[in-house]
């Protein structure tokens, strides 16, 4: 593909045309659109949502998206996708869970066939909840496009096939608004209803997907931080218009609807949008541009300080799902246990690792792997990390965490875990062992500081 150009900004009202003069000048839906295009609106919120929350875009296309045969259930193999979580299809467990990196399939597998649900909560039918998926793929999508009618997709690519010192293109994602190149270390958000196709220029790919029902991602409020910091709006990139006008017999639209997959045939590409304008649009973000804030004197900041995007609930400060990262940064806190502290949380935390290591897990948590610590389940640094940290003592100087990028999907809802994830050969059944070696360092001291007892 050609080098891509993007439009910069988060939440902007954009406009783009691949063919000059294709956007109507003074209205959205004239009797005859320029270049005899069809006008079509895609709405991400209800028509009557408040103006500051209202999301919609106008697409000017060669043929409207309604021009297809009826949808039919997709019968290709067993589906491992869910969007409604209950006792019949998933399990609740408070146990700390961890999975090793999943192998790339040996048989030809595209993004759709390589997508499977790990856990989630709520229901897409009730428009409240989330699902966490993973994908492995080794071939590009051919003459087909995918979309989720259930919710927004936040895609986190983790692996291409090139060496670490080479640039990995990762995924080429073609959308109705244009094309996105999304490399490992970047993310893409594909809003509910948008059709897209995933190509793999580097070969096999693996990654994570968070899907949210009934709301959309937005930038978190900054509070006392002030006007700047964390993810800057200008670093989010939306595509520019690009279109495919070729005849495509047998083109397949695969739609995720209520967690099930349906297909419809048409004879043209859905990426026939010559021009568009609006604020409902796919976008990408480079995680290396995140500006972290951190402790500058003592104690360890809560992980919420690293929130890139949030999907809020009606309750202030409580997220349906936060996307949090743990990027390279300096640790300078004095007289402080610097790794994440041991804790139990009313939120549930699903973690993944894009590259490098994670500061709280010296062993076992690998790039492409994942872990789940559910509501009020205790977790924290493993034995090796704890012992190494306290051995440095209070004289440890500033230390830079580098060559790493971990992330967390955090939700106020309690996730249920899919049976295939619990039965996966990649489940790390020895995960609990990483804490078993933690021993008592308790010392009873008198008022003068003399040691009176040492219990192990």
249 CB contacts (<8 Å, ≥6 apart)?
267
Query: 429: which 2 tokens?
Result: 């059944």
Q: Is 335 annotated as belonging to a binding site?
A: no
Q: Which of 68, 128, 277, 300 is catalytic?
A: 300
Whether residue 423 is annotated as binding a ligand: the answer is: no
**Cα pseudo-dihedral 349, 353, 359, 362, rounded to 10:** 110
Active site residue 300: yes
Report how far residue 105's alpha carbon sits from residue 204's, in angstroms, rounded to the nearest whole number: 9
Asked if residue 10 belongs to a known ligand binding site, the reply is no
- Alpha carbon distances (Å) from 176 to 27, 193, 281, 300: 21, 10, 9, 43
> How far is 456 from 447, CA to CA, in rounded Å?
22
Kind and range of the H or E run holding 385: helix 383-392
Note whether 191 and 44 are within 8 A (CB).
yes
The answer to whether 216 is a known ligand-binding residue is no
User: ∠ CA 357-353-387 to the nearest 5 degrees?
Assistant: 35
Cα torsion 263, 110, 371, 87 to 10°: value is 30
Between the alpha carbon of residue 404 and those of residues 184, 245, 328, 343, 352, the distances in Å are 12, 42, 6, 23, 11
Binding-site sequence positions = 343, 349, 358, 379
Among all residues, which ones are annotated catalytic? 300
Return binding residues for Fe cation: 343, 349, 379
Residues that constitute the known binding site for homogentisate: 358, 379
């Amino acid at each position: 593909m050609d080098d891509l150009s993007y439009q910069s900004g988060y939440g902007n009202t954009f406009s783009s045309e691949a063919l000059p003069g294709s956007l109507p000048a003074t209205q959205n839906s004239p009797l005859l659109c320029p270049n005899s295009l069809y006008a079509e609106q895609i709405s991400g919120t209800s028509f009557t949502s408040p103006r500051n929350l209202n999301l919609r875009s106008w697409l000017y296309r060669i043929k409207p998206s309604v021009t297809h045969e009826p949808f039919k259930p997709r019968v290709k193999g067993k589906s491992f996708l869910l969007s409604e979580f209950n006792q019949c299809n998933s399990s609740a467990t408070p146990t700390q869970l961890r999975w090793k990196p999943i192998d790339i399939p040996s048989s030809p597998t595209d993004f759709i066939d390589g997508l499977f649900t790990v856990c989630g909560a709520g229901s897409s039918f009730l428009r409240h909840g989330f699902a966490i998926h993973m994908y492995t793929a080794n071939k590009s999508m051919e003459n087909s496009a995918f979309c989720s009618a259930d919710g927004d997709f936040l895609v986190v690519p983790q692996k291409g096939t090139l060496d670490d010192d080479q640039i990995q293109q990762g995924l080429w994602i073609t959308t109705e608004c244009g094309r996105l190149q999304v490399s490992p270390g970047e993310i893409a958000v594909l809003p509910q209803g948008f059709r897209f196709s995933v190509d793999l220029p580097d070969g096999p790919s693996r990654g994570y997907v968070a899907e949210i029902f009934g709301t959309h991602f937005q930038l978190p409020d900054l509070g006392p931080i002030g006007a700047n910091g964390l993810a800057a709006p200008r670093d989010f990139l939306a595509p520019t218009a690009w279109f495919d006008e070729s005849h495509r017999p047998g083109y397949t639209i695969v739609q995720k609807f209520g967690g099930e997959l349906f297909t419809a045939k048409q004879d043209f590409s859905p990426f026939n949008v010559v021009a568009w304008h609006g604020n409902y649009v796919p976008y990408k973000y480079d995680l290396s541009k995140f500006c972290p804030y951190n402790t500058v004197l003592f104690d360890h900041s809560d992980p919420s300080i690293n929130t890139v995007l949030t999907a809020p609930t009606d309750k202030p400060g409580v997220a349906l799902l936060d996307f949090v990262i743990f990027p390279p940064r300096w640790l300078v806190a004095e007289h402080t246990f610097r790794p994440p502290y041991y804790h139990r949380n009313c939120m549930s935390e699903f973690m993944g690792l894009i590259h490098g290591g994670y500061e709280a897990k010296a062993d076992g948590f690998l790039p492409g792997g994942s872990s789940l610590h559910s509501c009020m389940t205790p977790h924290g640094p493993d034995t090796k990390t704890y012992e190494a940290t306290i051995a440095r003592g209070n004289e440890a100087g500033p230390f830079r965490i580098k060559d790493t990028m971990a992330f967390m999907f955090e939700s106020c809802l309690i996730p249920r875990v899919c049976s295939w994830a619990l039965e996966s050969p990649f489940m790390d059944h020895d995960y609990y062992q990483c804490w078993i070696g933690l021993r008592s360092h308790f010392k009873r001291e008198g008022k003068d500081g003399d040691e009176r007892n040492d219990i192990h």
